[in-house]
Amino acid sequence: MSALGQKQTYALQQAMSALHRIATTSCCGQADAYWADGVEIKDGQVIAIVTDTRPDIPLGRPHIPVGTRIVVPPHTLKWDRGNPTGHTIIFLSYPARDVLCYVTGTGI
């Protein structure tokens, strides 16, 4: 991995560990994270659309097909933080696929 790649990976790991569902409990890691740059609003609900084509095995996560739509509960929306990827990221539990956090991209 290049020095730039290592720096980006470290920045992403730091940003993920800073996300919290409640005051002191980190909720998110690489194995929970999927890019979800597509979004729909339907009947007042945010629906994330998985767009992540990265290989799953190196990230230690189960596969979720591109195009999968997931309703995002309002309490999981994280509007107060960006992330260093420029992608919107949805963090999902396994095996239930409950939404842990939904973090908007920075538009980088």
Short-list 88, 92, 93, CA closest to 106:
88
**Domain layout of the chain by residue ranges:** 3-103
| pTM summary value | 0.74
The reported pLDDT for the residue numbered 23 is 44
Q: How far apart are CA 72 and CA 90, in angstroms?
A: 9
The reported pLDDT for the residue numbered 4 is 45
In this predicted model, what pLDDT tens digit does every residue of 8-60 receive, in sequence order? 555 666 665 565 544 444 567 888 999 999 999 999 999 999 999 999 999 99
DSSP run (H or E) holding 22? strand 20-22
